[in-house]
C-alpha cells in the first residue's frame, strides 16, 4: 500500500500530459432543510454539487477507493475548496424533490491539471512528514586529534539515517534549506592505567555525545550519550575503534528521539516573520492578512506589523514548517483565487515573498 500514492501521482501526470483543457462533468448535490431555510439549503446543495464534480473528474483517472493514504488530505484540502478548481458552473436543474430535499444538478468544467499540480504538492508534504531532515555537525572546538574519528562517526550515522528514510543535508549557514533538526556530535577520550592480575594495562574510555537541536533558533531538544572502553596503548586506534562501537550503541536511542522530535516539530505552532513585496496599498495589506487568517491551512493568528513602500511585514502563528506555509500559498486554488507569489529568500522562520 505504501507505493500507491506515488502510483497515483504518476497516473495523474500521464493524464495531465493528454488533457490540457478542463474536464466537463455533471454532478448533483442535495440538502435537507426546514421550511423557511431554502436559501441556506440551496447553498449547501451547491457546495455538495461542486465537491461531487471534482470527485467525478478525479475518478476519471484514478479509482478514489485506492487513494488510501492521501484520502484524508484530499478531502480536507482539495474538496473543501472546490471553487478553486472549477472554471465554469452552469445550473442544469434545481428543485425541491419528492423526498423534501433541495436538489441541484450542475455542469462544471474542472481544471484537472490544477488538481494534478496540487496533488503533487501534497505528495511533497507527505514526503516531508515521512522523511525527517537532519544535518550532522561536528561540535566546534573539538580537539584536532579527534576530528578524523568524529568524521568517521558522522559518516556512519549518516549512512544509518539514510537507510532508515531520513534526508541528510550538509550544514551551511548560506543554504536556503534551514528547516529541520541538527545533530551536534562530540567525541572525547580519556586514558588511564590500571592493574589487572598484577599486570598494568592501559584502558581508553571513548565518549560520544549527540545533541539534537532546532536549526532555526538552536534550542536544545534532546541529548544522547554513550561511553565505550578500549584497551591498548595506541590511543588513536582505540579512539577509532571505540567511536564505531559508540555509534552502534547510541543509534537506536538517537533514531527514536529524532523521529519523535520530528513528528512534534511538524505540527508545533511557531512564529513566522513574513515580508510580502509588491503590495499596492495598506488596504490590500490588510486584506492579505485576512486571507492568511481564513484561507491558509495551519495559520492560527496573523498580525500586520507594518506597511511601507509597497512592502508589508507580518507575524504569523503557523502549525508546521515555514516550507509548509509556502506550499499552502503555492496551491493552484490559492493563486487562482487570491494571488501568485515568488519566494525571494528563506532564512529559518524569516520568509520574503513577492506577489507576481
DSSP class per residue in 14-60: HHHHH--SPEEEEEEEEE---TT-HHHHHHHHHHHHHHHHHHHHHHT
Predicted local confidence at residue 165, as pLDDT: 84
Predicted local confidence at residue 17, as pLDDT: 42
Using DSSP, state whether 190 is helix, strand or coil: strand
Predicted local confidence at residue 195, as pLDDT: 67
Q: Which domains does the chain have, with CATH numbers?
A: 4-129 (no CATH), 133-266 (3.30.160.150), 269-355 (3.30.1360)
Is the confidence at residue 45, as pLDDT, over 70?
A: yes
Global confidence as pTM: 0.63
Phi, psi of 76 (to 5 degrees): -70, -35
Predicted local confidence at residue 7, as pLDDT: 37
Predicted local confidence at residue 111, as pLDDT: 84
Euclidean distance between CA atoms 148 and 235, whole angstroms:
13
Predicted local confidence at residue 197, as pLDDT: 67
The grid coordinates of residue 61 equal 483517472
Predicted local confidence at residue 180, as pLDDT: 78
Using DSSP, state whether 197 is helix, strand or coil: coil
pLDDT tens sequence across 212-270: 998 777 889 999 999 999 988 898 899 999 999 999 999 999 999 998 888 887 778 88
What is the pLDDT confidence band of residue 176, given thresholds at 50, 70 and 90? very low
What is the pLDDT confidence band of residue 127, given thresholds at 50, 70 and 90? low
The grid coordinates of residue 323 equal 516550507
Task: Decide: 276 and 314 in contact? Cβ < 8 Å.
Answer: yes
Percent of residues, the chain, with pLDDT higher than 70? 83
Mean pLDDT of 280-308: 94
Other Cβ atoms within 10 Å of 301 Cβ, number: 12
Predicted local confidence at residue 67, as pLDDT: 46
Mean pLDDT of 349-355: 93
Mean pLDDT over each residue of the chain, to the nearest integer:
83
What is the pLDDT confidence band of residue 3, given thresholds at 50, 70 and 90? very low
Task: Determine the straight-line distance between the first and last CA of the chain, rounded to whole angstroms.
Answer: 40
Closest CA to 62 of 123, 7, 127, 121: 7
Residues 6+ apart with CB under 8 A from 330: 121, 341
Task: Decide: 50 and 82 in contact? Cβ < 8 Å.
Answer: yes
Euclidean distance between CA atoms 324 and 268, whole angstroms:
12
Is the confidence at residue 164, as pLDDT, over 80?
A: yes
Euclidean distance between CA atoms 109 and 85, whole angstroms:
8
- 125-139, 181-195, 205-219, 280-294 — most confident range: 280-294
DSSP tag of 139: P
Task: Decide: 211 and 220 in contact? Cβ < 8 Å.
Answer: yes
Mean pLDDT of 38-65: 79
Which of 22-26, 109-113, 114-118 is predicted least confidently?
114-118
Task: Decide: 302 and 315 in contact? Cβ < 8 Å.
Answer: yes
Burial 264-274 (b: 16+ CB within 10 A, else e): ebeeeebebbb
Is the confidence at residue 86, as pLDDT, over 80?
A: yes
Helices (H), the chain: 4-18, 38-59, 71-73, 112-130, 147-163, 235-267, 282-295, 322-329, 332-337
Is the confidence at residue 68, as pLDDT, over 80?
A: no
Is the confidence at residue 320, as pLDDT, over 60?
A: yes
Predicted local confidence at residue 115, as pLDDT: 78
Amino acid at each position: 500500500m505504501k507505493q500507491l500514492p506515488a502510483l497515483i501521482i504518476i497516473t495523474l501526470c500521464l493524464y495531465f500530459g493528454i488533457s490540457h483543457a478542463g474536464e466537463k462533468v455533471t454532478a448533483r448535490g442535495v440538502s435537507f432543510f426546514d421550511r423557511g431555510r431554502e436559501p441556506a439549503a440551496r447553498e449547501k446543495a451547491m457546495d455538495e454539487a461542486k465537491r461531487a464534480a471534482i470527485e467525478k473528474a478525479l475518478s476519471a483517472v484514478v479509482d478514489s477507493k485506492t487513494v488510501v493514504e492521501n484520502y484524508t488530505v484530499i478531502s480536507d484540502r482539495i474538496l473543501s475548496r472546490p471553487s478553486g478548481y472549477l472554471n465554469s458552473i452552469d445550473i442544469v436543474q434545481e428543485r425541491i424533490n419528492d423526498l423534501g430535499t433541495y436538489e441541484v444538478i450542475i455542469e462544471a468544467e474542472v481544471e484537472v491539471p490544477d488538481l494534478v499540480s496540487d496533488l503533487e504538492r501534497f505528495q511533497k508534504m507527505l514526503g516531508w512528514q515521512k522523511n525527517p531532515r537532519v544535518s550532522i555537525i561536528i561540535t566546534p572546538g573539538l580537539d584536532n586529534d579527534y576530528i578524523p574519528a568524529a568524521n568517521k562517526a558522522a559518516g556512519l550515522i549518516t549512512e544509518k539515517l539514510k537507510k532508515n528514510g531520513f534526508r541528510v543535508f550538509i550544514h551551511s549557514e548560506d543554504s536556503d534549506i534551514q528547516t529541520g533538526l541538527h545533530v551536534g556530535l562530540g567525541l572525547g577520550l580519556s586514558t588511564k592505567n590500571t592493574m589487572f592480575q598484577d599486570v598494568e594495562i592501559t584502558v581508553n574510555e571513548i565518549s560520544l555525545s549527540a545533541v539534537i537541536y532546532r536549526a532555526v533558533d538552536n534550542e536544545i531538544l534532546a541529548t544522547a550519550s554513550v561511553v565505550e572502553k578500549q584497551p591498548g596503548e595506541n590511543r588513536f586506534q582505540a579512539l577509532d575503534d571505540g567511536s564505531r562501537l559508540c555509534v552502534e550503541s547510541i543509534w537506536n536511542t538517537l533514531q527514536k528521539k529524532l523521529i519523535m522530535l520530528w513528528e512534534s516539530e511538524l505540527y508545533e505552532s511557531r512564529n513566522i516573520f513574513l515580508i510580502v513585496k509588491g503590495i499596492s496599498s495598506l488596504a490590500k495589506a490588510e486584506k492579505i492578512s485576512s486571507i492568511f487568517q481564513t484561507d491558509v491551512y495551519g495559520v492560527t493568528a496573523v498580525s500586520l506589523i507594518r506597511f511601507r513602500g509597497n512592502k508589508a511585514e507580518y507575524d504569523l502563528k503557523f502549525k508546521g514548517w515555514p516550507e509548509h506555509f509556502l506550499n499552502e500559498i503555492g496551491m493552484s486554488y490559492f493563486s487562482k483565487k487570491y494571488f501568485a507569489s515568488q519566494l525571494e529568500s528563506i532564512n529559518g522562520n524569516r520568509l520574503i515573498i513577492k506577489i507576481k
